[in-house]
Amino acid sequence: MRKFKIRLTVISLIAVILSLFMQETLAYYSTIGKSSNVVTSGNLKMLIHEKTDQGNDFPAEGVYIMPGDVVSKRVTVENICEHPFYLRVRVVFGVNAEVLSAEDCFKLNINEEDWQLVDGWYYYRRILAPGETTPEVFSHVEIVGAKVDNSYIGKTLTLTVDVQAVQSENNPVPGNETFRAAGWPKE
């Protein structure tokens, strides 16, 4: 029995010594390192064009209106970067810095063939390639006479066009459902 205990102790000691050598050997053949990778993202750039029926720029100072007037305002968006993208447009209406709903004063003739309304945004149904310009989002704004009464005298009605884009490269969507693209900013 005593010989067995001595043998067991010797074998255990040899196993411990071998494991120490193996750890050094394993450490010798393994390495730890760091890598720094730089990832840059591109910029999507666009221009909003606001023209009149005559092809002139829409006046920056606005126009004088009367209830029932139909104002020419042709809004398009041009891709001025090197990457194609999906595009959406929101029209924000206001009076003296207060936001209005569209029904309060304005009526737009939206181009529903090329633009789709989803959750308050008009989504362009196709990818906008570099150098391309969209068809008009709308071309005329009607001042709703029944809604614009004497309480609006001396006030400034505003129509603001907000535009957002997300990359279309490596961002597929089914059919013309560009509103399903990944990456649209949260409100």
Looking at residue 102, what is its pLDDT? 63
DSSP run (H or E) holding 18? helix 2-29
Looking at residue 26, what is its pLDDT? 47
Q: What is the largest CA-CA distance in the chain?
A: 114
Looking at residue 27, what is its pLDDT? 45
Looking at residue 13, what is its pLDDT? 57
Domains annotated on the chain, with CATH:
46-180 (2.60.40)
- As given in the structure block, the two tokens for residue 78 are 């041009």
pTM of the prediction? 0.74
Residues 6+ apart with CB under 8 A from 159: 73, 91, 92, 93, 94, 106, 141
Task: Tell me how far apart the alpha carbons of residues 181 and 174 are, in angstroms, rounded to a whole number.
Answer: 9
Q: What is the pLDDT along the chain (187 residues), one digit of tens a residue?
A: 666 666 656 666 565 565 655 555 444 444 454 444 444 456 889 999 999 999 888 888 888 888 888 989 999 999 999 999 999 999 888 887 677 766 677 889 999 999 999 999 999 999 999 999 999 999 998 888 777 777 777 888 888 899 999 999 999 998 889 999 999 988 6
- As given in the structure block, the two tokens for residue 12 are 């255990």
3-class SS at 83? coil
